[in-house]
Amino acid sequence: MLVLEQPFVETEKEVIASKPNTTGAEAVILSLLAENVDTIFGYPGGAIMPIYDALYDYLDKVKHILTRHEQGAIHAAQGYARVRRKAGVCFATSGPGATNLITGIADAMVDSTPLVCITGQVTEGLLGTDAFQETDVVGISMPITKWNYQVTKAEEIPQAIAKAFYIAESGRPGPVLLDITKNAQFEGCDFKYQKCRRIRSYLPKRALVPEKIAEAAELINSCKKPLVLAGHGILIAKAQEVFQEFIEKSGLPVASTLLGLSAMSVEHPNYVGYLGMHGNYGPNVKTNEADLLIAVGMRFDDRVTGGLDTYAPDAKVIHIEIDPSEINKNVKATVPIIGDAKEALEALLPHVNERKYDEWLAEFAECDRLEDEKVVQKALAPTTEKIKMVEVIKMLSDKTEGKAVIVTDVGQHQMIATRYYKFAETESNVTSGGLGTMGFALPAAIGAKIGVPHRDVIAVAGDGGFQMTLQELGTIMQNDIPVKIIVLNNHFLGMVRQWQELFFDRRYSFTDIESPDFVTLASAYGVKGIQVTDRDKLESGLTQMLESKESFLLEVIVEKEENVFPMVPSGASVSDIRLE
């Protein structure tokens, strides 16, 4: 949570938009237009009604997507933000409308997703009286926003929104929330919009320290068993191109975090796999054999490190990270480089030597061979009449050539999708990482498709998570959004069931779940779909889905007790990764 020295400090004199004698509500819309907002996701209600009334006059300039729940609105804004790398915008009313945004705000905060959330609030005179639909959303959201502020005067609105976009998008991105009282929306004001480019006491990006760049280059040029940990920060900084140049010049092997997937093609010869609890065998095991870790835009999450007391015991650590609070938080950095990932890589590039690590890369290749033998081939081999989730994702990857935007929900299917989909293009992986929010996929896919309408966007969900936000099929119906949906139905809350099997003696306590007929339900929303139960119908089902010009739901009935391996048990060393 960013705490400003003063709520507003005038820093920019250039007025880029103005209109005299307007209302606070119209000032909101004009401010968003000045920030080049083209899409708003939201749900109206009493306390935000004046803003919606003002929006009515500007529908030729900005699109509004009416979702079926405020959680759907904020996840859609997240999906949009993740593929566009700009702030997603959502509206909600006061009270329950505002509190329904909280899960998405928390999700965006931990995954560094820029959002501008605007909520209506009761009139200033009723604040603190427990008025109808009054909730202290500023207090509630304080720990999970980068900045929040309550606007009580119309004249504050333009500057508040300018600050909101600057804070949300600068430095390490994140969600901001503006709570605007109803009287501020009705009040008159002279609208003047000034783009915010600086705030006193807020330093979103630090200048690089040349000595640290030199120290890092020296370590890189002298190491024997290095490993690059590619994180979400590479994508946020739009550093994919320079990152690949850096890798190809230095010869360093690269492993990706969950959110770092699609920062570079998984087919690149230096790419050695995916880190984490259900990641690839090689990068997990070899982390503890490395003599140097180069972490770029990642935060050493527990799902990557496993037990910290046994993590990378022989490795020096170069940590490139824009957020100073992440430095030394979990893993001590030998050389901390605080700054933008793109700028840091550009600074490092001239100083690293051209090298090759053939023997070291061969060790990763041997790990791949072992994982392929013990995990991949077994996972792909039909063992029963039931289709496996792995088969679906592998076939999907082949048919799309790894070029679709894959939006995953949370659970076994998420880990299988991120393991077996061969991301060939950048900005192709949208998922809930740090918070692990079930119900994320469908609304986030809606936002992603609106953000990149020229790309295939495919939501992959389990039967449990899909039912948390399936009402957003109504959003697809009303707005004619051609999202493709795959529901992998194993009649279980699969990831919890896997843990119950492995660590709780198969005591399946409330993880078996019954579902409606998803295809019939989708048809009620005007979404075409089919159910596939037989392996020999899977390919034609996927083809039908992919060739559809409209939204389409493909439900695949899959093996009930399929497990995801490899797996690092919670709290264990990454060296203790299990292949079976």
Contact predicate 339/205, CB 8 Å? yes
DSSP structure class, residue 499: H
Buried b (16+ CB within 10 A) or exposed e, 114-151: bbbbbbbbbbeeeeeeebebbbebbebbeebbbbbbbb
Contact predicate 239/298, CB 8 Å? no
Annotated catalytic residue 150: no
CA distance 454 to 406: 14
CA distance 41 to 76: 7
Annotated catalytic residue 70: yes
CA distance 187 to 177: 21
Region at 306 (left for phi over 0; alpha for psi -120 to 50; beta for the rest) = left
CA distance 241 to 563: 36
Contact predicate 492/512, CB 8 Å? yes
Tokens of 420: 């077996």
Residue with the two structure tokens 């293009």: 425
Contact predicate 169/88, CB 8 Å? no
Annotated catalytic residue 495: yes
Tokens of 391: 């088969």
Annotated catalytic residue 132: yes
Catalytic member of 8, 12, 124, 133:
133
Catalytic member of 277, 298, 495, 567:
495
Measured from the Cβ of residue 394, the count of other Cβ atoms closer than 10 Å reads 19
Catalytic member of 26, 35, 70, 371:
70
Question: In 3D, which of 468, 464, 467 has the Cα closest to residue 495?
Answer: 464
Catalytic member of 182, 316, 449, 484:
182
Reduce the DSSP state of residue 31 to 3 states and report it.
helix
CA distance 409 to 459: 8
Give ∠ CA 148-153-154 in degrees, rounded to 5.
100
CA distance 468 to 439: 5
Catalytic member of 132, 186, 503, 504:
132
Which residue numbers are catalytic? 70, 132-133, 182, 495
